[in-house]
Amino acid sequence: MKRIWRRVAPAVIKTVLWFYAFWIGTLILFRWVTPPTTGVQMQRRVESWFRKGPYEKRYTPVPMARISPHLRHALVAGEDTRFYDHWGLDVVAMADAAQEAAGKRRRLRGASTLTQQLIKNLYFTTHANPVRKVVEWTLAPVADFVLGKERVLELYLNVIEWGPGVYGAEAASRYHFRAPAASLSREQAARLAACVPAPRRRRPAAMSQYGAVIENRMRQLGY
């Protein structure tokens, strides 16, 4: 086994380094360029080949100026209230999650930041696995440093899933409300943010209760 490992280890290390070089290189590129597709979008395309019915991809990236401030505030309030305070990883949320799970024989909940979710959407699929989590933890601080908070949020708003084949704020707003993302009201934004944890099952029209919770968090955060 030692001989085999000595032969295999250099190839494994080179492969890992190559992937990290690719990820970091594309993150640098994404400071200025919006990705033409993402890992999750490719996953959904492949899944559509094995399901009945047509698959229509709706993906219209727009600059932050064309997205309602209410939506960016709602996503921070709903998904990552310490977004502007952490460095890609929210150690406070991770510690709280670990304490909550301790002694309850429950799986540790994610405590993922917006930056971690962006990494998952860009490079991986929705299927959970330990390798993906390790990459998220190691790349999230890099993404925060390379891209900066505003660009991380802009990319996140433009690539995340918001329905069957619906990606990004502009496509989501037109799909769910038949209006551009710039015109979203506070309530509409909160309802859209409420769909993010389960975007293919949830619809804004049914998110009045959780939407109200997010609106309350927005007020607490000063939005």
Q: For 14-32, how does the pLDDT look when each residue is reduced to its tens digit (9 = 90+)?
A: 999 999 999 999 999 999 9
Q: Which stretch of DSSP H or E encloses residue 59?
A: strand 58-59
Cα 96 to Cα 73, 101, 102, 161, distances in angstroms: 23, 9, 10, 27
Higher pLDDT, 101 or 148: 148
Higher pLDDT, 52 or 64: 64
Give every CB contact of residue 28 below 8 A, 6+ residues apart in sequence. 146
| pLDDT band per the 50, 70, 90 thresholds, residue 5 | low
Which whole number is the average pLDDT over 191-201? Answer: 96
pLDDT confidence of residue 99: 64
pLDDT confidence of residue 107: 47
pLDDT confidence of residue 108: 46
**Tokens representing residue 165 in the block:** 């084949």
Share of the chain above pLDDT 90, in %: 81
Contact 113, 83 (CB under 8 A): yes
Render pLDDT for 72-81 as a digit per residue (tens, 0 to 9): 999 999 999 9
User: Distance between CA 75 and CA 67 in Å, rounded?
Assistant: 12
pLDDT confidence of residue 9: 81
Higher pLDDT, 92 or 143: 143
**Tokens representing residue 127 in the block:** 């299927």
Quickly list H helices, 30-159.
Answer: 39-48, 69-79, 91-101, 114-123, 130-147, 149-159
- Residue 6 in 3-state DSSP? helix
**Tokens representing residue 219 in the block:** 């007020």
Render pLDDT for 99-138 as a digit per residue (tens, 0 to 9): 665 555 554 445 799 999 999 999 999 998 898 999 999 9
pLDDT confidence of residue 97: 63
Cα 39 to Cα 47, 61, 159, 161, distances in angstroms: 12, 16, 10, 11
As assigned by CATH, the class of the 36-220 domain is mainly alpha
Domain extent listing, the chain: 36-220
In the block, residue with structure tokens 């860009």 = 122
32 residue type, one letter = W
pLDDT confidence of residue 52: 83
Greatest extent of the chain over all pairs of C-alpha atoms, in Å: 63
pLDDT confidence of residue 138: 96
**Angle in degrees, 0-180, between the axes of helices 114-123 and 69-79, rounded to the nearest 10:** 100
Share of the chain above pLDDT 70, in %: 92
Return the closest-CA partner of residue 192 out of 165, 216, 210. Answer: 210
Render pLDDT for 149-183 as a digit per residue (tens, 0 to 9): 999 999 999 999 999 999 999 999 999 999 999 99
Dihedral angle at the C-alpha atoms of 75, 80, 86, 90, nearest 10 degrees?
Answer: -150
